[in-house]
């Protein structure tokens, strides 16, 4: 006799979804932002690469990982919608990232090629898993709760990633022999990420397959390309959504570059490793309350306006970053970044989810991920090129100001209410057909 599947409450399902952010954000904090960039520059590449070359190669690897993810995301999103496989794809890419992170335990002085390879696969795994994680938002959250649930996911990500980063800092401080503290910190990220993926897999229901408009018996890859073709044929229907994507492409380039390149830039200008890691930890914990506050704030002034305020703040941070020369400058700017980082990203995600039809959420979040990842290609690449041409990275920081100014301007052209109306109409048609 088959056992009845356990039913979970709305709160339990939302919390399970948020826990993936709790677990996977450890890769963003420890590996992408705080520890591995410093370890790569000061230990792994020491004696084999010049400081500005280490910065440049780090930027190039970021760009390559984002390019691969951007090319995969739309077709994989379409296939996931067609077969009802959002959770399956999330599990596969999370698994790739987790294994690559666990193997970082073996990184030590001179292994810079292996470090870049493992970082590449870890980044591709994380970025690709977020396509399907983000696509589940509209299936998990109630429509009037999307801003808060998205913000809650970011807040939990800051808390989970921050707690493990604090533990990793302790490991690094008290286990210096043979860089054991650094290496164990990377291993702990893989374990943490795997552990907090389990609740989502157990509690969040896989959305139904969407085979509408595709002939019966069509292979899933062919169906994925057909669905993408249909989307491009009807692109005018989603005009506001794609206008938002262009704006997001621009301003997220600045946000992503600050996240990925801040510590290695700080290391280059002489700020100590513990100050760099500690300031990034501060960003994590500042981000917890401010992410939730942004979710509440958006209900008063509107989601788009809240994002634009966050981008204006980022512009000020970028301008001040050009003049950074002391450790306390880095701490102050880290606090300022924490005030807006989670909020702007969470509200961007929730606004996009509201303008995307639910039955095709993975496909549309594939485009969102393309926008995000192509943005991430340009920023680190520009950072690396300017660094090598000028012999330092200070002008690279100032160049990011253009991304925030342009993003704000493009957002003023987006009619978000029209975009939501179009998505609601398609949701109604899909519900009537099912």
Question: In angstroms, what CA-CA distances link 403 with 3, 257, 370?
Answer: 54, 10, 17
Q: In degrees, to the nearest 5, what angle opens at C-alpha 369 toward C-alphas 365 and 370? A: 115
What is the rounded distance in angstroms from the CA atom of residue 27 to the CA atom of residue 60? 19
Average pLDDT rounded to a whole number, residues 20-36:
91
Q: Check whether 3 has a pLDDT greater than 60.
A: no
Cβ atoms within 10 Å, residue 225 = 14
In this prediction, residue 34 carries a pLDDT of: 79
Q: What is the mean pLDDT of the chain?
A: 84
* 167's tokens: 């533990």
Angle between helices 51-83 and 220-233 (to 10 degrees): 100
The mean per-residue pLDDT over the stretch 374-396 comes to 69
Cα three-residue angle 121-122-124, rounded to 5 degrees:
65
**The pLDDT of residue 262 is above 70:** no
Window from 137-141, 252-256, 274-278 with minimum mean pLDDT:
274-278
CA distance 264 to 249: 23
Please report, for the chain, the start and end positions of each structural domain, with discontinuous segments joined by +.
Answer: 11-204+228-433
Q: What per-residue confidence (pLDDT) applies to 156?
A: 93
Q: Which two tokens stand for residue 312?
A: 């204006």
Q: 163 by DSSP, 3-state: which?
A: helix
Q: What is the pLDDT of residues 304-333, one digit of tens each?
A: 999 999 999 998 988 888 787 777 888 888
Q: What is the mean pLDDT of residues 184-190?
A: 97
Instruction: Report pLDDT for 213.
Output: 66
| pLDDT at res. 374 | 63
Query: What is the structure's pLDDT at 1?
Result: 39
Q: Supply 358's token pair.
A: 């639910």
Which of the two residues, 160 and 265, has the higher pLDDT score?
160
Q: Name the token pair of 321.
A: 């970053």
Most confident stretch, 11-25, 152-166, 195-209, 378-392: 11-25
Q: Which residue did the predictor score with more confidence, 45 or 325?
A: 45
**How crowded is residue 227: how many other Cβ atoms within 10 Å of its Cβ?**
23
Number of C-alpha atoms within 13 angstroms, CB side, residue 365?
30
- Asked if pLDDT for residue 281 goes beyond 70, the answer is yes
264: tokens are: 């290695």
CA distances in angstroms from 108 to 34, 68, 111, 177, 297, listed in the order given: 17, 27, 6, 12, 45
CA distance 107 to 113: 10
Q: Topology of 11-204+228-433 in CATH?
A: Growth Hormone; Chain: A; (1.20.1250)
Written as six digits, the tokens of 208 are 């139904």
What is the tens place of the pLDDT at every residue in 388-422?
777 666 677 777 888 899 999 999 999 999 988 88
Q: Which pTM was predicted? A: 0.79
- Rounded CA gap, 129 and 27, in Å? 12
Among 164, 126, 412, CA closest to 256: 126
Question: Is 90 exceeded by the pLDDT of residue 13?
Answer: yes
* Angstrom distances, CA of residue 328 to CA of 93, 172, 272: 38, 21, 11
Is 389 exposed, middle or buried (CB count within 10 Å of its CB: 0-12, 13-18, 19+)? exposed
Specify the residue for token string 């160049």: 399
- Predicted confidence at residue 2, as pLDDT, reads 44
- DSSP class of 434: -
């Amino acid at each position: 006799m088959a056992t009845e599947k356990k039913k979970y409450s709305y709160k339990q399902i939302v919390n399970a979804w948020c826990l993936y952010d709790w677990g996977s954000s450890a890769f963003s904090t420890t590996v992408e932002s705080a520890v591995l960039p410093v370890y790569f520059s000061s230990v792994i590449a020491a004696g084999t690469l010049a400081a500005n070359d280490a910065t440049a190669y780090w930027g190039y690897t970021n760009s390559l990982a984002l390019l691969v993810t951007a090319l995969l995301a739309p077709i994989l999103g379409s296939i996931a919608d067609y077969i009802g496989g959002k959770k399956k794809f999330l599990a596969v890419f999370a698994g790739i990232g987790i294994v690559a992170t666990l193997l970082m335990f073996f990184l030590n002085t001179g292994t810079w090629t292996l470090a870049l390879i493992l970082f590449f696969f870890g980044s591709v795994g994380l970025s690709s898993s977020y396509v399907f994680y983000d696509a589940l938002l509209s299936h998990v959250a109630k429509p009037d709760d999307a801003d808060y649930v998205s913000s809650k996911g970011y807040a939990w990500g800051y808390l989970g990633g921050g707690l493990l980063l604090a533990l990793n800092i302790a490991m690094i401080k008290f286990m210096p022999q043979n860089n054991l503290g650094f290496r164990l910190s990377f291993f702990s990220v893989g374990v943490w990420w795997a552990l907090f993926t389990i609740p989502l897999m157990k509690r969040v229901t896989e959305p139904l397959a969407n085979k509408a408009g595709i002939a019966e018996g069509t292979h899933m890859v062919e169906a994925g390309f057909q669905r993408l073709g249909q989307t491009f044929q009807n692109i005018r229907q989603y005009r506001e959504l794609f206008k938002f994507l262009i704006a997001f492409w621009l301003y997220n380039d600045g946000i992503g570059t600050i996240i990925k390149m801040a510590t290695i830039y700080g290391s280059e200008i002489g700020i100590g490793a513990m100050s760099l890691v500690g300031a990034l930890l501060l960003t994590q914990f500042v981000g917890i309350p401010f992410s939730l506050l942004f979710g509440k704030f958006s209900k008063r002034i509107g989601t788009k306006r809240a994002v634009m305020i966050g981008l204006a703040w980022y512009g000020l941070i970028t301008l001040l970053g050009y003049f950074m020369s002391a450790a306390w400058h880095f701490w102050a700017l880290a606090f300022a970044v924490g005030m807006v980082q989670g909020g702007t990203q969470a509200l961007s995600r929730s606004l996009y989810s509201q303008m995307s039809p639910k039955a095709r959420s993975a496909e549309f979040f594939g485009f969102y991920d393309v926008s995000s990842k192509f943005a991430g290609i340009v920023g680190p690449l520009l950072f690396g090129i300017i660094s090598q041409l000028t012999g330092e990275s200070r002008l690279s920081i100032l160049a990011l100001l253009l991304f925030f100014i342009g993003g704000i301007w493009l957002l003023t052209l987006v009619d978000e209410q029209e975009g939501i109306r179009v998505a609601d109409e398609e949701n109604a048609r899909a519900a009537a057909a099912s």
